[in-house]
Structure 1
Amino acid sequence: MSMTTNFTINKSELKSLIGPGKIFFRDDPEFDETTFLSFGTDRTKVYQPDFDILAFPTTTEEVAKIIKYAYENEISIVPSGGRTGYAGGAIAKNKELVLSLSKMDKVLDFDPFLEVSKYRRE
């Protein structure tokens, strides 16, 4: 299935998907334009971000709900981690949904044998 960037979104439906205060739209008053758009770019500053939806999930279940919703509604996703890249690989410039992982920072489990951990931020 090819993803599109031309979509009509039900804002209240999307905002209720993972609870209040976790999904924002470009015209919401919670963020000024510069701060909002900073989540859709990295340190290259070569490309200008252009997106309208910003999500801050706090659990893997919420990430799954967002991905499922985006898939069902043909919305492309750009993940946003530390935004420290210099390659321009995670820039939302085609009206994608930006999925910020900045709220997922709490260690839930660690397996020293496998040297892996599960974490989530408070």
Structure 2
Amino acid sequence: MENIRIFVQKHKKVSWLVLIGYLIFCGCFVFPLSNERWSFDFEKAYMIILSYGILATLFTSLLSSNKSIHVYSISLLCTTVGMILRYIIEYGEYSNTINFTQINIIMYLGIIPVFCTLIYWIICKLESITCK
């Protein structure tokens, strides 16, 4: 973990670009968690947990601890931008009526930023315990 932190600290601009870009990418292409055509499956759950866990680890390397509000805000904003891009890409298609239901939007915007912030918070707490 320390090697990752050192690398990220040396390359902050690139790391921020990767973090924000990947959050937007996931908001665009991972959304929705499920719909009436495709149910939520284990592979997608594994990919989401792993991806956003890595992003939370990147947040811990870029931000100091106790910045949970920033992590939540950035995650929410970038995820929303990604979803808007997805809507624009598929504008006028039938898939938008399936994907962009109120429950899918609320679930995705509720679960993803909270999960990313929770993992960030856990990592910060574990690091503060091990550093003492």
State TM-score, norm by structure 2: 0.28
Higher strand residue share: 1
Higher helix residue share: 2
State TM-score, norm by structure 1: 0.29
The structure with more radius of gyration: 2
